[in-house]
Structure formats: C-alpha cells, structure tokens
Amino acid sequence: MKAKLYIILIAAAAMMSVSCEKFLSENLKGGYSSENYYTSASKAEMAVNAIYNSLYDNILWMFGDVASDDSVKGGADGDQPQIDELDALTASADNGSLGTFWKDCYETIARANNAIANIEAMQLDNAVKTRLVAQAKFFRAYSYFYLVNIFGQVPLKTKPQNTSDAIHVGLSPVADIYAQIDQDLTDAAEGLTDVKDGHANRAAAYALLAKSKVFQAKWDEAVAAINSFKTVNATAGYDLEPNYSDLFKAGGEDSVESIFAIRYATNKIASYGNNLAVWFSPFTEGGYHFNAPTQSYVDCFSEQTVGGDDDPRLDASIGRHGKPWFNGTTFDKSWSNTGYLVKKYDEDPVEDMAKNQSAIPQHRIRYAEVLLLEAEALNEASAANTATAAAVLNQVRGRAGLAGTAAANQAALRDAIRLERRRELGFEFHRFFDVMRYGRDYAVAAIGAAAWPSDRYYFPIPQGETDANAALKN
C-alpha cells in the first residue's frame, strides 16, 4: 500500500507541475499591466483621467489654512490630534496627516509618470498624444509645487516606479524641484489646448507657471509667464466673476473666473462629492466644525467699501455671529471654537443629499489670483512699475467694492498686495505658503516665534517614506 501511495503522489505531483507551468504561462485575466494596457487612444485617455481622479480627496486645507494665521484646527477637543500638531508646527515624522498628504501627492505623480512614459511610446495620433502627455505633466508639476512648499527637499521621481532606481530616490534640492516644475509647465503649455471643459488647459499651465516663478522670486520670468497667459486669454476670455460668492456655489467651476478647479459629481452618489462641508460645517448640521477662522483673519477686513459696507468677501467666506448662514438660519458663534466657520464649501441643504455629496468646487487657480500675481511680479521687478501694478491690484479691489489702493510706493504696495491676497483667497488653502515665502520676519509676526532652524519652516518627511525608501536611510 505504501509503494502504491508513493507512486500516486509522484504522479499527482507531476500533473500539478504541468498544470502550474500552463497556468503561469497564461495571460492575466481581469487586470492590466503597463505592457498590455496602453493599446488604444481610449485607454490612454482613461489613464490620464485617473490622474484627475487622484485629486478628489485631499487635505490641503490642513496645511494651507490651519498651519497659517487664518485658522485653527477647531473641532471637538481631542479629535484628530495630528492636525493640532500641524497647527502648532510641531508635527513629527510619524504624523498621520503628513503621511496621507505625501502618499496622495506621490500617487498623482506615479499616475502621471506612468501615463507620460507609456503614452509617449504609443502609436497614436500626434495631437492626441501631445495633449494627453501635456495634461500629465501639468499634474506632475502641480503635485511637486505643493510638495516642495510643504516639505522642501523631496525625492524627484519622473519615471515609472518599475525599477529599484526609480523607487529609491534621494532628496533633491528645492531649486531642482522648481526647475522640474517649470519645465513640466512649459511643456504642458505647449501641448495643451485652449478648450474650457474642466481639463487642464494652456491658461492653467501659464497661470501655474507664473505662480511658480513668483514663489521663486523670479520676477521678470513671472511677468513673462503672465504675458503668455494674457495672450491666451485674449481669446479665452477669463475675467472676474461679478458676484464673488457665486464662485463658491455648485456650478462655480464653470465661472468666467475659474481657470482650474477640482470638480465634483452631482449625482447624489455618496463619497463622490466634495466632503469639505462635513469637515467645516457646524455640529448643528452634522459637521465637525474644523478649520475655524481666527479673529486675525476677520480683522484683516477692516476696510469698508465705497458705500460704507463690510467687504462682501468676508461674509461670503466665513460665518459670523448674527449674520445669515444657510437655509434661512442665522450663524451662532457657539457653533465654533473661535466663533467663526468656513462658508465657502457649505450650501443650503439639498433634498436627499448628504454633506459629502456637495458639488461645490475647490478652486485651485482663478483669474483674481493671476491678477494678484501680476501686480506682485510687476511691483517687485521694479519700483518704476508701481503705478501699473496698482492698477492691476485695483481690478480685484474694485470687484469687492473697495476704492483704489492708497499705496504710492513699492514698499506700501507690497503690503497692500499681500493683504489683498489674504482677503481675496481666504480658505482656498494659500495662506501658509504665502506667509512662508514672505520671509522669516513676516512669518514670525503672523504665526508666532516658532522655533524652526532655517529661514522658513518645512514639515518633516513622513516616517513611512523614510522606512520604505532606501535612498533616504542614513
């Protein structure tokens, strides 16, 4: 019996070996690899669309707002303590929010790198190929722009991560990161179209390039990028939205002012909408009341309109005690830790719609910011440009009903432009990055005498990346 059993086991093993060899030689069913996915224009388009999808659920507000002087964490005591660390600029490498943001950015970059490398190798109509690769480069630049402003030196990854060398990449100098951003945006501007359909287009590429140049204090190059934007805009027709608050309603992404926005579905499917309303709205609406505006932000609106009213951007941006809220209600200061809450991502309740199903867009680039970038670049490039820069600034002020700026020299206009950026772009996640680029003295005055070792504060590289990336180990 033992001999016969032994023979049977050998035979079974032989059959299994043959079966395994046959199984392993079969093409994977129900999935794709890079080698068998990029076979048609439609699949290439889907690969680029996946880059857009990676932007959906982001936590940029924790850095752009909470880490700045515009807001504090808010929320219930003890809830999300890692955001308190961002607020206090005391986050360690194991902070969960740092890890989440890092992974989200590099997921976008990985999708962009895969699309660029594989689409460039495809046999496609050249116009289609150029447009798709240009979109991918735009989002690679977009992601690195936030990474370099939050972390400083980061791994510069520009190839698909299918080799060890592409995965384990060391830190690159800040200047090198910006050089890649600028090159990607230059390439993108050459390859994108002027179509305004929600995709990245030439206007968006030039606008982001101008912003990158301003952040590097390359003033003449910033002016050149803005002039390129203006050439595109001669036919594109971007302009200021007459009613500021309309930008922050469903459909605001299609405003004449919106150059690039993160758009959300309106089909009542849970988790496909903009979920910031859940994070920012009061507990009376089932919200978490995070990202609570500070008194410092409110006080920066001390200037009244020519008609003697409050600047309309204040009540369009935040809820204040006794002021209209939503659905006919009046805001109550007890709803928030600071007495204020962000209003730009909330809305009147829609029947059968949960807070995470909102269709309100997140604006990333809009025409008002381009004007403010232009005013800043002109003013910083030369004191001789002050009058011209002031006229550009006054377009933004005029939309808010304010009189023309009284700033009559370069230094005074610099302060006026910085103040206008804070008021115009409040709670669109810009402030922290502005505070840091304005210099240490400005940052300390705005945020406090935090002990950071260099001219500006950078958050630490997440521990998960240091553990996984061999090039970052000591």
Distance in angstroms (rounded) separating the CA atoms of residues 127 and 123? 12
Residue 219 to residue 213: CA distance in whole angstroms: 7
Could you list the beta-strand ranges (E) of 211-331.
258-262, 290-293, 318-319
Q: What percentage of the chain has pLDDT greater than the value 70?
A: 90
| Matching residue, tokens 């951003």 | 181
Question: By CB neighbour count within 10 A (0-12 exposed, 13-18 middle, 19+ buried), where does 451 fall?
Answer: exposed
d(CA 277, CA 249): 12
> Rg of the chain's alpha carbons, rounded to an integer?
25
- For position 163, what pLDDT does the model report? 93
pLDDT of the residue at 270: 63
Q: How far apart are CA 277 and CA 273, in angstroms?
A: 10
pLDDT tops 50 at residue 471: yes
Angle at 470 (CA atoms; ends 464, 472), nearest 5 degrees: 70
DSSP letters, 268-292, are: --TTSSBTHHHHHS-GGGT---EEE
Which sequence spans correspond to the domains of the chain? 40-192, 276-360
What is the C-alpha separation between 272 and 128, in angstroms, rounded? 28
Residue 162 one-letter amino acid: N
CA 267 vs. chain centroid, Å, equals: 24
Amino acid type, 36 = N
249 CB-near residues (< 8 Å, 6+ apart): 347, 360
Q: How far apart are CA 230 and CA 214, in angstroms?
A: 16
Secondary structure (3-state) at 363: strand
Taking each helix axis as running N to C, give the angle between helix 202-215 and helix 174-191, from 0 to 180 degrees, rounded to the nearest 10. 160
Among 180-184, 295-299, 437-441, whose mean pLDDT is lowest?
437-441
C-alpha–C-alpha distance, residues 289 and 311, integer Å: 24
Res 352: pLDDT: 61
- pLDDT bin (cut points 50, 70, 90) of residue 209 is very high
d(CA 415, CA 383) in angstroms, rounded, equals: 14
Q: pLDDT digits over 246-294, tens only?
A: 999 999 999 999 999 999 876 666 667 888 989 999 999 989 999 999 9
CB 240 within 8 A of CB 369: no
Query: What is the token pair recorded at 239?
Result: 């302009």
- pLDDT > 90: what percent of the chain? 82
Mean pLDDT of the chain: 91
- Least reliable range by pLDDT among 3-12, 27-36, 433-442: 3-12
Decide if 19 contacts 11 (C-beta within 8 A): no
From residue 101, alpha-carbon distances to 55, 192, 373, 461 in Å are: 11, 27, 26, 11
Tokens of 308: 């003697």
pTM of the entire structure?
0.92
For the chain, what is the largest distance between any 2 Cα atoms, rounded to a whole number of angstroms? 105
Task: Answer yes or no: are the C-beta atoms of 154 and 466 closer than 8 Å.
Answer: no
Q: Which own/partner pairs from 271-275 qualify as long-range (CB within 8 Å, at least 24 positions apart)?
A: 271/356, 272/56, 272/357, 273/353, 273/354, 273/356, 273/357, 273/358, 273/359, 274/345, 274/356, 274/358, 274/359, 274/360, 274/361, 274/362, 275/57, 275/355, 275/356, 275/358
Tokens (6 digits) for 264: 């959300």
Q: Tell me the C-alpha distance between 215 and 205, whole Å.
A: 15
283: its two tokens = 């507990």
How far is Cα 86 from Cα 352, in angstroms, rounded to an integer? 35
Q: Does domain 40-192 have CATH number 1.10.10.370?
A: no
pLDDT by residue (tens digit) across 318-344? Answer: 999 999 999 899 999 999 999 999 999
Tokens 């309109």, residue located: 305
H-only helix segments in 290-409? 295-299, 312-317, 367-381, 386-399
pLDDT tens track for 107-160: 999 999 999 999 999 999 999 999 999 999 999 999 999 999 999 999 999 999
Q: Which of 128-137, 252-261, 380-389, 447-456 is predicted with the least confidence, judged by mean pLDDT?
A: 447-456
Asked whether residue 385 carries a pLDDT value surpassing 70, the answer given is yes
